Structure 1
Amino acid sequence: MPSTLAAAEPFTPEEARALDPYFGNTDSPVFVLTNLPEAVKGALFARYSRSAKSARRLFLDEFLGDVAPAGAPTGAGPGGERAERLYTKVFNEYGDDSVAQLGGAHIACEGVSNVLTKVLERGRLMSYLEQSTRYVPYTQRPGGQWKYVVPGEIEDPDDRALYVATLDRAFETYARWIEPLQAHYRIQFPRAPGDSEGVHRAAIRAKALDTLRGLLPAATRSNVGIYGSGQAYEALLLRMRAHPLAESREVADLMLPELRKVIPAFVQRVDRDDRGVAWSRYLEERNRRARAVAGGTDRDTEWRRHLDPPASGASDAEVALTEFDPDGEARVVAALLYAGSGLPYAQLLAAARAMPAEERVGIIRAGVGARANRRQRPGRAFEQTAYTFDVLSDYGAFRDLQRHRMLTIEWQDLTPQHGFAPPDPAVDATGARSDWHAVMEASAALSERLARRYSAVVAQYAVAMAYRIRFQMRMNAREAMHVIELRTSPQGHPAYRRVSRRMHEQIAEQAGHTAIAEAMRFIGRDDVDLERLAAEKASERKRLAQAPAAAPGADG
C-alpha cells in the first residue's frame, strides 16, 4: 500500500547536527522534542501555529540561538532566562493562555495533611499519585512525632495540647492493633498451598491496614506526586492561595518557587497584584460568600424556609441517585447513529424515542461491541446521558473516589455529625472495639471544640477517617462505566466497592437504563476475603517473569 506520509524535509549536515540534541530524528515527519526547557517547547509550538515553516526549521531560524546547550540547566540560570524571554515574546505576539498547556512539570508535596491532598487533587487536567494507607503503615515517628499536621490556626496552648494528646492516642491505638489484626487474619485466611509466603504476608498486611485506617485522623500526613501543565498549575496555585486553610497557602508559597525552576514563564502571573493576586482575592471572596449563604449566616438569604422535611431514611442513604434523564438511553442511541447516518441529531433522537425498547438495546449493544476487559469502553455517545449521586460514605472511601477527575464532584466539610462507618468484624473479634470507640468519641469531641473556637474547616483535621462525609458525584455514562468497573474490582477496598455496586444497581433499576447497565460487564459482584491477594499474586508473577535467569551453578 502506498505511503501517505509527507516527504521528509531536507536538512544540511550542519543543520542536522544542530537539531540532533533537541529532536528525535531529522528524517521523519514524526519526531519527539528533547532537552528543551518547557517554555521553549510551548513557545515553539505557539509560533508553529502561525507559520508555514516546519517545527525544526522554525527552531533553526528563530530559536536555536536563544537555547542553552543541551544538558545545561533549563530552569534557573541562563537557559531559564532565555526560555522565559522566548515564551513572553510569543505569548504577547502570537498566543493566548493555551500556550501554557504545552509545557508541564512534576512536583512532589510531602508530609501534607489528608485534608490538603483533596485540595491538591481537585484539578481535572492533572495527574496524581498519593501515598496509600493500604501499603504504608503509619507507625514511624520521625523526630519523635506521629505523622500528622498540627494546623497553624490552633494558637491557644490548651487547644494545641488537647489536639496533640488526642491525635497521639489515635495513632498509638492504630499502631498497637496492627499485629493483633494481622494475627487474626492469618488464622481466618490461612495461606493456600499455591501462594507464596510473601504474597500472603502482603495481602494480610493490606487487610489489617485497610481495617484500621478509619482510626487515622484527616490530619494524617501523606505524600502526593503531581504532574500538570503550566496552565493547570497556575489554576491550582490560585485556588490554594485563596483557600481558608493556612496549610494550603503555606504549601502554595513553597510550590511557586519550585515550579519557577522548571516552568518559570508559565507561572509568572500567579503573584502579580493585577493578575493572580486579584484573581485569588476574587476566589476567596466568592467562596466566603457561598459558605455564608449555605450556612444561613448571610442576611440576604432565607433559603432554608423552602426546605421540605426529608423522606424517612433518605438522609442516611449511603448512595442516592438524585438526578438522571429518563430519556438517556434514547439520547445514547441517537448519538451512536449520528456519525454514520448523515442525519441531524434531532431527527435521530425522535426516531430513537419512537423505536421499540429491544431495538434500542440492540443498537446500544452494537455500539458497545465485544469488550474483552474493563479498559475497552464504548465511544463518546455514552456521554450523552449523566447521573448525579449523593453519597454518604466514610472519609477513606471518599479519598479514593474523589481522585476521579472526568466528572463533577463537590463535598461538604468532614464532621462527626453523620456518624462513623461500622468497623470490620475483626475489630470485635480481637477485642479492639472499646479502643475503636474511644478514638471515635475523642475525635468527635475535639472536632466540635475546634469548630466552635476556630472554624468547621479547621475542625476537619481532628476527624477520624471512619466518619462519614457527604459528597455529590455527577458523571456521564461513559465515566460511570470507568468508575464503577474500576472501583468494584476485587482488590478494591470494601467501602468503595459497596458504593460503586449501589451506583450500578440504581442506574439499572431506578433510572431504568438497563442497556447501559448491561454494558458495564466487568462489575465485581462477589465479596472477597483478602482483597489484595489476587493482585499480589499477579505482581509476583510479573516480577518472576522479569527476573533474570539464575546462572548455572548459582545458589537458589
Structure 2
Amino acid sequence: MQQYSDLEKAALEVFVTSAEDPIYACRADLPPEVFGAFGSFFSRNPKDLRGHLFDAIHGRIKGHKIDDESAAQENLMKLAGGEFLSPAEALRSGVSKSQAFFREWYGKYSHKSIANTVWIPFVGTQVSQLFARQLAFDQLAFFIEQSTRYVKFDVENLHMDAAIMKSSHRDLYIGTLQEAADAYQRFTDLAADHHAKEWPFDRWLRSKEGQDDPIAKAEDKSQRRAYRRELKAMAFDVARLLLPQAVKTNIAWILDARSTEWDIAAWKGHPLTEIRRSAELIEKAGGAIAPSLLKYTEENPYYGEQYRNFDGALFADLPAECMKKGVDVISYDPDALDKSLAMLLSRNNRSADVSRLLGFVKDKLNFDDKIEILRTVTKKRGRHDEWVDVEEAFDCMSVTVQFRSDIGAMRDLRRHQKWDRNEGIYTLDNGFYLPDVIREMGAEAVSTYEEVMGRTFDAEQIIRKDFPHAAQYLVPMAAMHSITMRAGLDQFQYFVATRTTPQGHFSYREDAYNLATAVCKAHPWLLGLKEFPEGKGIDEVYENAPLKGILRPYIGETGLHT
C-alpha cells in the first residue's frame, strides 16, 4: 500500500474517510464521475483509487500530465488547509481536459459497468403520483416519498395534464379533481373527530402500555402531544383514499447512471407529457453530475411503444367486474421445502452438485427432520435479524402472487424494491375500497364517499376515450387494483413482518395478513405444518404453529399509529 506524508494524508482525506485503512468510504466532495473514472482502472490496474486521486491532484494521470510541480504542491496545501471553496476543483485542476479523460477511460473500460458504480442523487418536487409509480418500477431507484400519513396534501395544486387542458374535457377534468379535493378536506376533519370518540385518551394510553411503548412512561404533556399526532395520522390514513393520482408529491431518490440513462431513453417515448418532460429534466440534472456517462439517451421507440400499450393492439375486451380485497397465489414450487433445504445445505457445506443435496434431502430426511433443520437455522434469530439466511439461500425459491387491493395500499407495497411486479392502467372499473372505518363514520360519510367515486368513474370513462393514460390522473387512491408480484421466500417473510406491524396502514396490514395466509396455505411447512388447518385464520394458526422462526407476523391489538 502506498505511503503518504501527513500533508498528503490530510489532502486525500478531504475526499476519502481514511488515507490508510484498507476499507474506506468516499466523501461527498469526491464527484461521482471522478469516482467512476478511477474505479474503472480496477479492471486493468492494481493501484488503489486513492493513488489515482493523488495522481490527479499532482497532475500525473497518464496522457493528461501537468509539468508544474509547484501547482500540485499548492493543491495539496490548499486541500489540507481547507482553502478550496470546492475541494473537487483540486481534481479538476490536476487533470487537464477532464471530460476528454473521462470519455477515454469510460469508453476503454466498458461504459455500462462503470456507469453502474456512479450513483446520482435526485429530487423531484411537485410531481404527480403517476411519476412516483413510474420511478418505482426501476428496482435500483431507492427513494423517499412524501408521506400521506404525516403530511396534509395540497389539494389546491393538482397536476393539470397539458393535453387534457387543451381539449374539450378541460372543465370536466378540473371539476372532478376539485370535488375529490373538497372531499379529502372534509374527510380529514370527519375522520379525526371519529377517532377521537373511538379512542379517547385513556383508552389510547392503555393500548400503549399493552404494547410496552415508551410513550406510556413519558410525562403527560408528551403523551397528549403524541396522542394528537396519532389522531391526525389516522385521519390522513382514511382521507388519503380520496386523493387522486393528480395530487402532487415530493420524492428524493438515488440511482446509478446506467439505469438513469435507460430510464431517460425509455421515458422519452411515454404517453404522458409529465413523464416525457421529466425525462428531459433528469437528463439535464444528471448530465450536470455525470456528463460523460449519460451518453445513450435518445428516445427508445421500442420501449415507448410498450408504454403506449402498443396503441391498443393487445386490448382485451373484458367486462368490468368489481374486485374484493385478497391475495391469490399465481405460481409456487410444491417442492420448495426440499429445494430450500438443499440450498441451505449447499451454502453450509463444501461445494457439491445441488441435485445430490436435493436427493439427500428427499431420500434421507423425513418431514420432522426437515423442520428440525429449519429450527436449527432460526433458533437464535433475534428481533432485529431481518433475514432468515445471511446470504441468498432462502431466497432461491420464489412465489408469485396477485394482490387485489386499493391503489393507496399499492403505493406502499411498491417500496419492496426486490419484488418483481406487473400491473395495468389505473381505473375505477374494478370498483373501490370502502373500509369499515368509513361505514363507522356514518351514513352521510358513506354517501359522500360513494358519490365522489361514482362521479369520478363517470368522468374517467369519458376522458379515457381520448386520453387513455392521462385519465389515470383522476383515479383515486381508493380504486381497486390488481398487481402481480414475485419474490423469494426470505423477501416474503420480511414483507409480512414489516407490513403487519401496529404502526402500519390498516389497508396494507390486511393485505399482508392475506399474503401470509395465501402463501402458508401453499407452503404450510413455513409454520412447521404438513397442512394448513381448514377454516382457520392466520392469527389462530400462527399462535399454535410448531415453527415460528421463519414467519413472524404481528398478532395483536393495533391501537392508533405512531
TM-score by length of 1: 0.83
Kindly indicate whether residue 19 of structure 2 is the aligned counterpart of residue 11 of structure 1: no
Kindly indicate whether residue 44 of structure 2 is the aligned counterpart of residue 50 of structure 1: yes
List runs of 5+ in structure 1 lacking aligned partners. 1-7, 271-275, 298-303, 536-556
The CA deviation string for residues 444-469 of structure 1, in whole angstroms up to 9 with x for no partner, is 011111111221x2221111111101
- Segment drifting more, 82-91 vs 226-235: 82-91
Equivalent residues of 2:191, 2:441 under 8 A apart = no
Structure 1 residue 518 displacement after superposition? 4.0
Letter of the structure 2 residue corresponding to residue 318 of structure 1: G
Kindly indicate whether residue 330 of structure 2 is the aligned counterpart of residue 322 of structure 1: yes
Q: Which residue of 2 is the match for residue 542 of structure 1?
A: none
Structure 1 residue 52 displacement after superposition? 2.8
Change (3 A) 1:365 1:71: farther
Q: Which residue of 1 is the match for residue 102 of structure 2?
A: 87
**1:441 & 1:376 partners in 2: Cα distance?**
43
Q: Which residue of 1 is the match for residue 356 of structure 2?
A: 347
Equivalences for residues 278-297 of structure 1 within 5 A: 280-288=300-308, 292-296=312-316
The CA deviation string for residues 22-64 of structure 1, in whole angstroms up to 9 with x for no partner, is 3333333333333221111111111133113232223333564
Q: Which residue of 1 is the match for residue 67 of structure 2?
A: none
The CA deviation string for residues 214-267 of structure 1, in whole angstroms up to 9 with x for no partner, is 111111111111112212221222232222111100111122211222222222
Structure 1 residue 507 displacement after superposition? 1.8
Change (3 A) 1:175 1:289: closer
Q: Which residue of 1 is the match for residue 437 of structure 2?
A: 425
Q: Which residue of 2 is the match for residue 400 of structure 1?
A: 412
Q: Which residue of 2 is the match for residue 134 of structure 1?
A: 149
- Using the aligned pairs only, state the percent identity: 23
**1:207 & 1:14 partners in 2: Cα distance?**
57
- Segment drifting more, 156-165 vs 37-46: 156-165
Kindly indicate whether residue 170 of structure 2 is the aligned counterpart of residue 176 of structure 1: no
Kindly indicate whether residue 550 of structure 2 is the aligned counterpart of residue 524 of structure 1: no
Letter of the structure 2 residue corresponding to residue 240 of structure 1: W
Equivalences for residues 158-173 of structure 1 within 5 A: 158-173=168-183
2:54 aligned to 37, 57, 60, which one? 60
Change (3 A) 1:83 1:172: farther
**Partner SS state of residue 282, structure 1:** helix
Equivalences for residues 199-218 of structure 1 within 5 A: 199-218=226-245
Equivalent residues of 2:502, 2:559 under 8 A apart = no
Equivalent residues of 1:210, 1:493 under 8 A apart = yes
Equivalent residues of 2:129, 2:247 under 8 A apart = yes
Q: Which residue of 2 is the match for residue 72 of structure 1?
A: 86
Q: Which residue of 2 is the match for residue 29 of structure 1?
A: 22
Pairwise CA RMSD:
2.8
Q: Which residue of 2 is the match for residue 552 of structure 1?
A: none
Q: Which residue of 1 is the match for residue 209 of structure 2?
A: none
Equivalent residues of 1:104, 1:263 under 8 A apart = no
Letter of the structure 1 residue corresponding to residue 425 of structure 2: D
Structure 1 residue 94 displacement after superposition? 2.5
Letter of the structure 2 residue corresponding to residue 38 of structure 1: P
Structure 1 residue 475 displacement after superposition? 0.8
Equivalences for residues 349-364 of structure 1 within 5 A: 349-354=358-363, 355-364=365-374
Kindly indicate whether residue 496 of structure 2 is the aligned counterpart of residue 496 of structure 1: no
**Partner SS state of residue 142, structure 2:** strand
- Segment drifting more, 54-63 vs 473-482: 54-63
Equivalent residues of 1:242, 1:281 under 8 A apart = yes
**2:347 & 2:385 partners in 1: Cα distance?**
23
Structure 1 residue 176 displacement after superposition? 2.1
Change (3 A) 1:38 1:443: same
Equivalent residues of 1:384, 1:476 under 8 A apart = yes
Q: How many residues align?
A: 499
List runs of 5+ in structure 2 lacking aligned partners. 65-71, 206-215, 529-546
Change (3 A) 1:49 1:188: same
**2:190 & 2:380 partners in 1: Cα distance?**
46
TM-score by length of 2: 0.82
- Segment drifting more, 406-415 vs 372-381: 372-381
Change (3 A) 1:168 1:74: farther
Equivalent residues of 1:112, 1:221 under 8 A apart = yes
